[in-house]
Structure 1
Amino acid sequence: MKRLGLTLVAAVCLTATTFAAENQPTTTKWDGSINVSKLSKYLNLSDDQHAEVTNICEYFSTQMERATTAKKDQQKRLRNAVYGNLKLMKQTLTDKQYSDYTKVLNITLQNKGIEVK
């Protein structure tokens, strides 16, 4: 009876540990695919804004690739890449566009499994 109880406890602990490990945020490699055309259409960008947003997105992709492949200070690099991107976008977009952009970026990062602390 004691063995059965210990076996059940071990099985429950193993299951809980496995479940918890799968739900931890992970940092996946950034694939760098930002569809600027769709983003431009969604945010209703002007021609000048479109050109600037294209440059910002290219820079952001480069920074995210570096951050996700970094061996040291990965969280710090991710944070700097995301907040740097937000700062540049804040200067380029109107308040409404910026608000919509932050929502899109937040969802994108969550879908990629990237958590910025």
Structure 2
Amino acid sequence: MKRLGLTLVAAFCLAASTFAAGNQPTTAKWEGNINVSKLSNYLKLSSTQTEEVANICDYFTEQMGRISNSTKKQDELLKNAVYGNLKLMKKTLTSEQYSKYATLLNITLQNKGIELK
């Protein structure tokens, strides 16, 4: 009986530590390039919007690369990069397109393990 109790406690501790490790906020390296053609198809962008979005995406990728190489203030830099990207996109996109883009960016950041504080 004692052996079964210890086994259950060990299994519980292992499960708890695995769960806790998976939920830690991180500023993982941004290794993704944004596929502007797929994004423009999804958002149904005009030709001028496509050019502007491509420039904004390039700038965002550059900023995220700098953040992953930085050792100080990563959280602040990440927040500034994401909110700066959203601000630029809001000026370029219609409200419906912006809503779709914000949702897509949020899901992408979550999937990469990047959490804004």
**1:43–1:101: 8 Å Cα contact kept in structure 2?**
yes
Q: What is the root-mean-square deviation in Å for CA atoms of aligned residues?
A: 2.0
Counterpart-to-counterpart distance in 2, 1:57 and 1:97: 15
Equivalenced residues, count = 116
Q: Which runs of 5+ in 1 are unaligned?
A: none
Look up the equivalent residue of 1:86 and give its one-letter code: L
The corresponding residue for 2:73 is: 73
Counterpart-to-counterpart distance in 2, 1:15 and 1:38: 39
The corresponding residue for 2:59 is: 59
Deviation at 1:24, TM superposition (A): 2.0
Counterpart-to-counterpart distance in 1, 2:86 and 2:17: 36
Counterpart-to-counterpart distance in 2, 1:50 and 1:105: 17
Deviation at 1:69, TM superposition (A): 2.4
Q: Deviations over 1:58-101 (max 9, x none)?
A: 00000011112210000001000000000000011111111111
The corresponding residue for 1:92 is: 92
TM (norm. structure 2) is 0.87
1:2-81 equivalences under 5 Å are 7=6, 11=10, 12-81=12-81
Structure 1 segments, 4+ long, off by >3 Å, are 3-10, 12-15
Deviates more, 1:77-86 or 1:8-17: 8-17
**1:27–1:114: 8 Å Cα contact kept in structure 2?**
yes
Q: Matched residues, percent identical? A: 62
Counterpart-to-counterpart distance in 2, 1:59 and 1:69: 16
Secondary structure of the corresponding residue to residue 82 of structure 1: helix
Q: Which runs of 5+ in 2 are unaligned?
A: none
Deviation at 1:7, TM superposition (A): 4.5
